[in-house]
Amino acid sequence: MPRSHPPRHPDADAPIAGPARPAQRRWDLAALRRRLAIGLALSAMAILLVLPLVLIFTEALSKGLDIALEALAEPEAWSAIRLTLTVAAIAVPINAICGTAAAWCIGRFEFPGRALLTTLIDLPFSVSPVISGLVWVLLFGANGYFGAWLDRHDVRIVFALPGLVLATMFVTFPFVARSLISLMREQGAAEEEAALTLGANGWQIFVRVTLPNIFWAMLYGVLLCNARAMGEFGAVAVVSGHIRGQTLTMPLYVEALFNDYEWIGAFSVAALLSMLALVTLALRMLLEWRIERDRSAGV
């Protein structure tokens, strides 16, 4: 329902408003203001947020769909896609499981240091992506604290898959825990306590009572975690070493192509990543609607 500003009491401005039909004029003014605000907001969003997206697909397809698909079929492109999927397939489940464990102990128990622990879990969100990569180089890089030891034992972490996974885990660390903790605290422990008095053990309580109640929120966290894991650039850029065909994830491959003036290739891979973003946004809308239902007061 349109909510224009409330009409004023007629007496309030009767002495001021000279023209014949003041009420009519005020209404026009309100409608005008409304249109102006909507128009301004939408054009700003169109230029700032939509135009870049349009450009990506336009550029990718500027020489036709065949050329764009060809760029994606390159062996290096395939290797980037595979690597991105591998990194996400390791980092996301670990963060999801540990995030759920964190939500259980933070959302269901009172203990000293609980607030601190919550803050620590949120911490990666306020750290620059580059620093999120840097910390792993400081630990495991050639000059890092464990660099010499790793070198002697011929273990590669930085400039290899483990480094990419660790950096990705750091930046996607809070997603699942965060979306679950607030929900679990809101829902309260009554259903779990009821299950307990009925004789259920811990695992039964979790699987039969807790999990169905937090399922959609968990999926939501996993969705955002995955989108970030696949799209992360800064943190993995630092630990990747940029070895083509080996340690370039899709976003890093976009960078490499762009810097080599391989315009179509860069935008084709970018378009693929954009589609991931669009699908993520669409699913997110659906999930938010679902979670609202879970959030609405318990029975």
Partner 1 sequence: MMVEMRDLRKTFGAAAALDGLSLSVGKGEFLALLGPSGSGKTTLLRVLAGLEFVSSGSIAIGGRPIQDVPARERQIGLVFQHYALFRHMTVARNVAFGLEVRPKRNRPSAAAIRDRVAELLEMMEIGDLGGRYPDQISGGQRQRVALARALAVEPALLLLDEPFGALDAKVRRNLRVWLRALHDRMGLTSIFVTHDQAEALDMADRVAILRAGRIEQVDTPDAVSRHPANDFVREFMR
Partner 2 sequence: MTRRSALPGFGLTLGITLTWVSLIVLIPLAALMLRPWELGFAGFWASVTEPRVLAALQLSFGAAALAAAVNVPLGLLIAWVMVRYRFPGRRIADAVIDMPLALPTAVAGIALTALFAPKGWLGEALAPLGIKVAYTPLGVLMALIFVGLPFVVRIVEPVIQDLPVDAEEAAAVLGATRFQTLRRVVLPALAPALLTGFGAALARGVGEYGSVIFIAGNRPMVSEIAPLLIVIRLEQLNYAGAASLGLAMLAISFAILLTINRLQRRMA
* Binding at 13: pick from partner 1, partner 2, none (beta carbon under 5-8 Å per type): partner 2
When binding is defined by CB under 8 A, the residue of 254, 264, 287, 291 that contacts partner 2 is 254
Neighbours of 2 (CB within 10 A): 6
53 contributes a contact to partner 2 by CB under 8 A:
yes
When binding is defined by CB under 8 A, the residue of 164, 187, 192, 247 that contacts partner 2 is 192
When binding is defined by CB under 8 A, the residue of 156, 280, 290, 295 that contacts partner 2 is 280
* Binding at 10: pick from partner 2, partner 1, none (beta carbon under 5-8 Å per type): none
Q: How far is the CB of 194 from partner 1 (least distance, A)?
A: 4
- The nearer residue to partner 1, 1 or 299, going by C-beta atoms, is 299
* Binding at 86: pick from partner 1, partner 2, none (beta carbon under 5-8 Å per type): none
Cβ atoms of 163 and 239 closer than 8 Å: yes
Rounded Cα distance between 295 and 216, Å, is 11
- The nearer residue to partner 2, 176 or 216, going by C-beta atoms, is 176
Rounded Cα distance between 295 and 167, Å, is 33
Cβ atoms of 244 and 256 closer than 8 Å: yes
48 contributes a contact to partner 2 by CB under 8 A:
yes
220 contributes a contact to partner 2 by CB under 8 A:
no
Q: Please report the DSSP string for 98-154 in residue order.
A: HHHHHHHHHHH---TTHHHHHHHHHGGGGS-HHHHHHHHHHHHSTTSTTHHHHHHTT
